[in-house]
Chains A and B, each alone.
Chain A
Amino acid sequence: MPPRTSSRCLALIAAAFLRPYPCVARVCAGVLLACSLMLAGCSNNPHPEPLQKTGEDGTPWKVRYGALPEDPRSLDPQVSYDAISRRILEPVQECLLEYQPFKTDPYELTPCLLLKLPERVVKPSGGVSYRCELKAGILFHDDPCFPEGRGREVVATDVQYAFQRITDPKVECPALSNLQDYVEGMAEAFEAARKTESFDYSKPFSGLEVTGRYTFEIHLKAAYPQLLYWLAMHFTSPVAREAVEFYDGKVHEGTTRDLFRFHPVGTGPFQIADWKRNTRIRLKRNPVYRTTTFPQDGWGAEQEALLRPLAGKALPLVDEVNMTVFRETIPVFLLFRQGYLDGMGVGKDAFSSLVTPSRDLSGKYKERGVTLHRDTEPSTFFMSVNMEDPVLGPNQKLRQALSAAFNAQANLDIFFNSVPIVAEQLLPPGIAGYQKEFKNPYGYNLEKAKALLAEAGYPNGRDATGKVLEISLDTTGGSANERMMAEFNQQQFEQLGIKVKVVENPFARLLEKLDNGGYQLATGSGWGADYPDPENFYFLYYSKNFPPAGKNHSRYKNPEFDRLFEKMATMENCAERDAIGLKMNAILAEDVPNILNMHRSTFGLTQPWAPRIQSNPMLEGGLKYAVLDHALRENLRAQWNKKPVWPIGVVLCGLVAVGLFTFNLRRKH
């Protein structure tokens, strides 16, 4: 209906609603009015209008639509640590270094805010320094915290300020525990600040020395090659002091300012345009972004046609990113099917309708041009075994028996659609030192498990007095799925003839138990790589990393392992380091301080108009490389969302029938 006729219709119906017509007629008119109003404003597009219709040069404004499972917790670069927050932080706040998006085996760092990779200098005192130089002319985003609202240039003191914030006890930076062992003066400054309960930002910071407007040196007490990886994380990315001081969450001149963690001021390719908490975040292109351009190489031959035209182009490649928070998975699937989301992860619910049993995309979606991707995260999931437990701790054979009784593949088949990979070792694939051929000597083998259990002193699950061995298993409880998993784990171990008592905990309580060692076996442990280095995994079993200092939840203590760890931790990657890693892996495999489960991998889908550019798991989305074919999307969306007309017909017929019925009734009277 053209708009004018439709509005006239509306007016007529509205008039009928108001005038003193019989009651039934008024009700009918009311229903009709409501329906028409609904249809008049009706489009099934759930997204708000884009920030702009066209760009400055008149080209269509390109918007990418994505989904977040929950609201980011904190966008303070020195605090933010969870994947969801980092997904938003990455396009907003740049780091000193970044991962080359296409090189994943091995991973490669390239300069981002820095002009070139830091230069390593060994000092005569035994310490190591890294000389760094920032690119000149990089501006912070325009923001009211700067004079006249114009973003100022990034200088070396901003990096120093970031390092001071890492040290400040009030900021509670998760990187502090790692960095303070190596960066000069950091531990001392932290202790001093903790005593006086305030951090003195005016004091010169010995760990990071500013040597010029753009140049600075990071001084380390000992060799620590992993520092470069830390420079590629947000903890070390420069922060404007004005911004932190401006966004204090207090009322100034009648308006409440955001907290800094909800209002990051970065240098990235995007800046936050609007953030409706728990609903949606919109990012807008940073018009003066110049820091990086699209890489020139690194991709494989199969991506050549797609990526060659982009090489060297200015970033970002789209104008706006719209991230909507969906707590449930079903709406994500439905909106993806209607073309209102550009990509989605394949969850358990939609799995069978999207993926065929042979792990291929189902035909219906193939026809639509949708692409299926398999992503393996550099992560390992396992059950923790408490090594201080009087039953499990001293009994290596018992731990081996439990490990051999756990059918990790069946677990993946039932609960994860067989997508992830069974973990055979602590290191996930892609990390230096991962051994492709290695098989867990205590992987699933029920016969062996039973034999080991007998050797452990519990033949058929009973101890010398004939009492059945009982072990408690701490899990998270609540959802039906978690309960099923717990029952599965219980069944696995009970195959040995022992009794497993499942203790359900809220997640926070489970973490608490893991920290204070109040458990025997606990599910839900896992580690995702902070950076692609074996040290980042082996440190989980270093005896000086007992909670709360570190994450050695198993409370594993082995002098030989510790010695090897201390040796390899700060080595550069080389053959000798691999050899040490081999030994460490063998020790862990034999000692079984954990029951290995999986390296998580997931299936993801992308729409034909938004092909996947990079799949680097060290990047959290890599939004600045995202592309969009705007015309194709408009076209396909229109095709996929044809409105059916029959419901309107049904409603109309119903109304007419009721009308006639009433008319008849009145005539009879």
Chain B
Amino acid sequence: MKWLDQIWVQNLCLLAGYGLLARLVVWGLRSERWQTAWKHLRRDKLGLVSLCVIGLYLVVGTLESIVLPSASGSVTLLQRLTAGIPQEKSYSAPLATTALSVADPKPLLGRHVLGTDALGRDTLVQTLRATRSALWIGGLTSLIYIPLGVLLGLMAGYYRRWVDDAVQYVYSTVAAVPEILMLVAILMVLGKGLGSMAIALGITGWVGMARLIRGETLRQVERPYIAAAKALGQSDWRILTRHLLPNVMHLVLIKFVLGFSGLVLAEAVLSYLGVGAPVGTASWGTMIDASRSELSREPLVWWNLTASSCALFLMVLALNLFGDSLQRAFDPKRGA
């Protein structure tokens, strides 16, 4: 996988991801249901604030994802922007002027708003950099589990009979294995890394989506427009993509946003367990894991834990609130 390390490949991937997202939104907004939902959403203050917070995270994550060539290989745009912040020897407290608890505290090279970690790196920068891991895990996993879940769910709901039996059998089996156990097992096989983590989470994550879509499809198939389409002799594929998919797409969107927060948490949990982000990749889970021993130190090192958990908390909260807002906005019982 040498080509994956190329700078332009990484940047192209990022661009492709954003293109895909934009395409989906544009495509969705054509439908009437999405337009009504957007009207509702515009009046939902909490939802908009959450959306802004998510947007901020996206900006930070993007900055850290853009790779630039440098003297020693490559750096990210965020690293380039924060290059002025010096690296200390080891721990220092927020805004402190001297290093923490050593025999003769030396003056620091600079001020650090949230202090520094064991290796003397600025905690704020590390926290911001960790956004990338969270977003990449959320994004990559969604790219895997959403198509899988939607496709299988639609097919099970539309064809029924043995297709339905087969899909149900597979997802019941997957759901029966304890999730963490399965994730760790898959990661042990694939090795550490954001990519393999996304694959592992994707393999276990599609079940909920498939179940949801299957249920909705079962309902939609009974509606007259499907019967009409069938009577006009449209092919199964056309019915699935042109008629059924747009009518379940709002569910996919809601599930995507709510599921995203779950994935961010899963990344943190896996990194905390030591099977997640590889060495050198900033991650909130790794930071929280490292702070286990920092909390039993004296003097206490609290800033790493605080910064990473706050950042994690805020992102998950914003995603959940926005997901709820979406759900309300798409609720058919609300009038126009």
Contact = CB atoms under 8 A, between A and B. Distances in A.
Interface of A: 330, 348-353, 357-359, 410, 413-415, 460-461, 468, 475, 477-481, 483-484, 486-488, 490-491, 494, 497-499, 502, 504
A497 B296 contact: no
B216 interface: no
Interface of B: 71-73, 89-90, 101-104, 118-119, 192, 274, 278-280, 286, 289-290, 292-293, 296-299
Given A352-B101, A504-B192, A410 B278 contact: no
Given A353-B298, A497-B72, A414 B101 contact: no
Contact of B102 (A413, A461, A504): A413
Contacts of B104: 357
Contacts of A490: 279-280
A485 B73 CA distance: 22
Contacts of B103: 357-359
Contact of A504 (B73, B90, B279, B293): B279
B293 A413 contact: no
Given A357-B103, A480-B286, A349 B297 contact: yes
Q: Which 7 A-B pairs have the closest CB atoms?
A: A480-B290, A353-B298, A502-B279, A352-B298, A480-B289, A349-B296, A357-B103
Given A352-B101, A352-B299, A480-B292, 4 more contacts: A353-B298, A414-B119, A475-B279, A484-B119
Tell which of B101, B278, B289, B296 has the most Cβ of chain A within 10 Å.
Answer: B296
B72 A499 contact: yes
B89 A483 contact: no
25 contacts: A348-B293, A349-B297, A352-B297, A357-B101, A413-B102, A461-B72, A475-B279, A477-B192, A477-B274, A478-B274, A479-B274, A480-B274, A480-B286, A480-B289, A480-B293, A483-B274, A483-B290, A484-B118, A484-B119, A484-B290, A487-B279, A490-B279, A490-B280, A498-B72, A499-B72
A484 B299 CA distance: 20
Contacts of A413: 89-90, 102
Contacts of B279: 475, 477, 483, 486-487, 490, 502, 504
A654 to B, nearest CB: 30
| Interface of A, helix, strand, loop or mixed by DSSP | helix
A487 B119 contact: yes
B55 to A, nearest CB: 31
A413 B280 CA distance: 21
Contacts of A494: 72
Contacts of B290: 480-481, 483-484
A377 to B, nearest CB: 23
Contacts of A498: 72
A284 to B, nearest CB: 36
A483 B90 CA distance: 15
A502 B279 CA distance: 7
A487 B293 contact: no
Contacts of B90: 413-414
B119 A488 contact: yes
B108 to A, nearest CB: 15
Nearest to B287: A480
Nearest to A468: B73
A415 B89 CA distance: 12
B298 A481 contact: no
Contacts of A359: 103
A502 B278 contact: yes
B71 A460 contact: yes
Contacts of A414: 89-90, 118-119
- Among B90, B102, B274, max chain A CB count under 10 A is at B274
B73 A499 contact: yes
Contacts of A468: 72-73
Nearest to B273: A478
Contacts of A350: 296
B86 to A, nearest CB: 14
Given A480-B290, A484-B290, A499-B73, A410 B274 contact: no
B147 to A, nearest CB: 31
Contacts of B297: 349, 351-352
A497 B73 CA distance: 8
A410 B278 CA distance: 23
Contacts of B72: 461, 468, 494, 497-499
Contacts of A351: 297
B173 to A, nearest CB: 29
Contacts of A491: 119
Nearest to B275: A478
A468 to B, nearest CB: 5
B141 to A, nearest CB: 22
Contacts of B102: 357, 413
B186 to A, nearest CB: 16
Contacts of A352: 101, 297-299
